[in-house]
Amino acid sequence: MSPRFYPVFRREIKAYVQSPAIYVLGGLYFALAGLFFHDILVYFAQLSMNPNMRSMTGMNELNLTQFVVRNTFGLLSFLMLFVAPILTMRLIAEEKKSGTFELLVTCPIRDWDLLLGKFLACLSMVGAFLVVCLVYPIVLEILGQPETPVIASCYLGLFLISASYIAFGLFASSVTENQMVSAIICFAGLLTFYLVGDLASVETGLVGSVFDAVSIRQHSMNFTKGVIELQDVAYFVLFSLFFLFLSAKVLQSRHWRV
């Protein structure tokens, strides 16, 4: 027996696959990622062959994993800030604008099933993006000997970060009927969570600790070092659940209007 969210999941996957926009978005993502990956590799090669250059940049202890892997996955995470708003902006907002949202909420399907179906469909598309990005570790394996556990840790972190972005994007899409407004809310909100950790260095005491605790970038750093901390995993899981919960509350608030 299929789970209750499966019809919504299947419907959203079909919508993604049939949309030309997903292929344009994927092409841009891979083109930018590939371009920066190439530049990182070239710079690493230049540093490797030039001791004076390493000394000037303070990188005497040059390591393929530390330099290339960390920078590459940090880049993939940053680019996802732009991908997530585009992938999620239509999930609920389009339903409201087209009038199909009222039909959905009157169907024998729970709000959580609706949200899970849309969330998992979007996460599956991001997962497909990440699978294609396996080409970068393969290239590194051909060129050198990167630390496989660190690469695995980076992928886990990138998956958790992507799930968090999608959950926030789903929430942004649930509070408006305009897709562009949804994308702007999502990007602005995620960018705030991404950069708020920088304020921890100028704020002291409780405020600085709070900024540090809610920072996406702060909790993603350990993954790029090959360190999987329970508090970092818990942060992204709770982040995702919290904004899915808020999305459910937004949907529930509309039932009385239908």
pTM of the model: 0.88
Could you tell me the sign of the dihedral formed by the alpha carbons of 73, 235, 196, 188, in that order? Answer: positive
Ramachandran area for residue 99 (φ above 0: left; ψ -120 to 50: alpha; else beta): left
Q: In this predicted model, what pLDDT tens digit does every residue of 173-182 receive, in sequence order?
A: 988 888 899 9
CA distance 181 to 189: 12
pLDDT-derived band at 24, boundaries 50, 70, 90 = very high
Q: Rg (Cα) of the chain, in Å, rounded?
A: 20
Q: In this predicted model, what pLDDT tens digit does every residue of 102-130 receive, in sequence order?
A: 555 566 667 788 889 999 999 999 999 99
In a domain, 142, yes or no: yes
Tell me the residue range of the domain where 181 lies. 6-257
In a domain, 73, yes or no: yes
Please tell me the predicted confidence (pLDDT) of residue 258. 47
> Using the 8-state DSSP alphabet, how is residue 107 labeled?
S
- Here the tokens at position 6 are 């499966």
* Tally of domains within the chain: 1
The residue among 14, 9, 26 whose CA lies nearest residue 119 is 9
Please tell me the predicted confidence (pLDDT) of residue 203. 58
CA distance 160 to 234: 10
CA distance 60 to 91: 48
Say which residue, 78 or 61, is predicted with more confidence.
78
In a domain, 151, yes or no: yes
Arithmetic mean of pLDDT, 16-23: 90
Amino acid at 36: F
165: number of Cβ within 10 Å:
32
Please tell me the predicted confidence (pLDDT) of residue 158. 93
Q: In this predicted model, what pLDDT tens digit does every residue of 183-231 receive, in sequence order?
A: 999 999 999 988 887 766 665 666 667 777 888 888 888 898 888 899 9
Say which residue, 100 or 145, is predicted with more confidence.
145
The two counts, helices (H) then strands (E), for the chain are: 14, 0
In a domain, 178, yes or no: yes
- Here the tokens at position 35 are 């371009």
What residues contact residue 128 under an 8 Å CB cut-off, 6+ apart? none
Buried/exposed 61-75: b ≥16 CB within 10 Å, e otherwise: eeebbbbbbbbbbbb
Q: In this predicted model, what pLDDT tens digit does every residue of 228-243 receive, in sequence order?
A: 899 999 999 999 999 9
Q: Average pLDDT of the chain?
A: 83
- 258 touches 105 (CB < 8 A): yes
In a domain, 1, yes or no: no
In a domain, 166, yes or no: yes
Is the per-residue pLDDT at 2 higher than 60?
no
The residue among 5, 21, 250 whose CA lies nearest residue 110 is 5
Place of tokens 């969570």: 193
Ramachandran area for residue 107 (φ above 0: left; ψ -120 to 50: alpha; else beta): beta
CA distance 161 to 215: 12
33: number of Cβ within 10 Å:
19
